[in-house]
Amino acid sequence: MRQLRRDFIKERWVVISSERGKRPLQFPEQSRYRPRGDPSTCPFCPGNENMTPPQVYVVEGDGGWKIRVVPNKYPILSPGEDGERIGEIPFISAPAKGVHEVIIESPSHFDTIGSMEPFQVLLILKTYRERLKDLKGKYPFAMVFKNRGPEGGASLSHPHSQLIASGFLPDSVERELRVFEEFRERGICPVCLLMNREVESERLVFQTENFAVFCPYFSAFPFEVWIVPKKHLPAFEEAEGPLLEELAGVYRKTMGALDRALDFPSLNMMLRSRPFSGGKYHWRMEIIPRLTKPAGFEWGAEVFVNIVPPERAALELRRNL
């Protein structure tokens, strides 16, 4: 059986190909995350700080640093880009102005979120919050994200994540903001609506007092999993300490389950939070293991094909908690 499911938050269709999902869960070796490299030559390892640009933020402890934040050596956007937008619609160009930072998550070259001490994961989340706070008011939009493994787009295996703040709102974000506004006029939040359904479904992986972890009904990718605060909270940078402490345990547990179920997959994590420019929103973490590659139909029609139904993915993750 194959089903079309509507992602009403991102406004796209997803095909759940349940017949293909009945096959044994075997994914190519290149989709795995395997820590590589020599710590003595890794630019993110202690002792090699001169191999990165000067740090803009640091968390110290145990006689050294616990987390460092440095400008990306090869940024997508740059604060030095100045100038006015030029050209007439649709031929417009503008400076690629923004900030691109690397958050070095641990001094240990071989750490993973699932294997770190809970306090280290909490420090990572607090760093996300503090960097977002610092950039708020300077740019209209920012996103924290994590690329892990070769299929996830990571060029270095040392545990790290990234932050990009931009001088523009991406089209996908503007589209989501319109969806949130349309739902607001009906008196509901689309993420709250989704979460309230998923906590009662077989797609729930686990829940705590303040968070729900589930594989969304409209998952576009195999083993896609969301971590969503149960309260309607728009901006991650406004999260209080106790909530982050709970999230640290939830994030660590979720990543550990993915690593056990899928043998350390390459993945992407996106921390989706309200743009600094405002609007209705509900922040969450979206984690997408990179087990399959979108091909011609996905890119051409913008309809993603998921070969592992989210119901099965959630079951496998529950078995590996």
pLDDT for position 64: 95
Tracing tokens 């071989």 back to the chain, one arrives at 110
Place 282 in a pLDDT band, splitting at 50, 70 and 90. very high
27 versus 293: which is more confidently predicted? 293
Query: What distance in Å separates the CA atoms of residue 241 and residue 247, rounded to the nearest whole number?
Result: 10
- Asked if the structure places residue 239 within a domain, the reply is yes
The answer to whether 203 touches 318, Cβ cutoff 8 Å, is no
Is 314 a residue whose pLDDT tops 60? yes
pLDDT for position 276: 97
Q: Which two tokens stand for residue 10?
A: 């991102």
pLDDT for position 32: 80
DSSP string, 286-314: EEEE--S---HHHHHH--EEESS-HHHHH
**Other Cβ atoms within 10 Å of 171 Cβ, number:** 8
- Asked if the structure places residue 119 within a domain, the reply is yes
Query: What distance in Å separates the CA atoms of residue 159 and residue 109, rounded to the nearest whole number?
Result: 7
278 versus 22: which is more confidently predicted? 278
pTM of the model: 0.95
The answer to whether 71 touches 53, Cβ cutoff 8 Å, is yes
**Lowest mean pLDDT segment, chosen from 150-159, 220-229, 307-316:** 150-159
CA 98 to the chain's CA centroid: 19
Q: What is the percent of the chain where pLDDT is above 90?
A: 83
Tell me what the mean pLDDT of segment 222-246 comes to: 97
Across the chain, the runs of DSSP E, i.e. the strands, are: 2-7, 12-17, 57-61, 64-71, 98-104, 141-148, 160-166, 204-207, 211-214, 225-229, 267-272, 284-289, 304-306
- Asked if the structure places residue 67 within a domain, the reply is yes
Across 203-273, the runs of DSSP E, i.e. the strands, are: 204-207, 211-214, 225-229, 267-272
- Asked if the structure places residue 273 within a domain, the reply is yes
Query: What distance in Å separates the CA atoms of residue 204 and residue 159, rounded to the nearest whole number?
Result: 28
**Other Cβ atoms within 10 Å of 3 Cβ, number:** 13
pLDDT for position 162: 98
Tell me what the mean pLDDT of segment 4-21 comes to: 88
The answer to whether 311 touches 199, Cβ cutoff 8 Å, is no
Total domains in the fold of the chain: 1
- Asked if the structure places residue 87 within a domain, the reply is no
Is 21 a residue whose pLDDT tops 80? no
**Lowest mean pLDDT segment, chosen from 85-99, 102-116, 124-138:** 85-99
Tell me what the mean pLDDT of segment 270-295 comes to: 96
Return the closest-CA partner of residue 100 out of 144, 159, 156, 155: 144
pLDDT for position 321: 97
- Asked if the structure places residue 83 within a domain, the reply is no
Query: What distance in Å separates the CA atoms of residue 51 and residue 39, rounded to the nearest whole number?
Result: 12
pLDDT for position 316: 96
- Asked if the structure places residue 163 within a domain, the reply is yes
DSSP β-ladder status, 304-306 and 57-61: unpaired
pLDDT for position 25: 63
* Domain limits for position 301: 2-21+34-71+95-319
43-89 tens-digit pLDDT: 999 999 999 999 999 999 989 999 999 999 999 998 988 888 888 88
- Asked if the structure places residue 29 within a domain, the reply is no
**CATH code assigned at 172:** 3.30.428.10
161-206 tens-digit pLDDT: 999 999 999 999 999 999 999 999 999 999 999 999 999 999 999 9
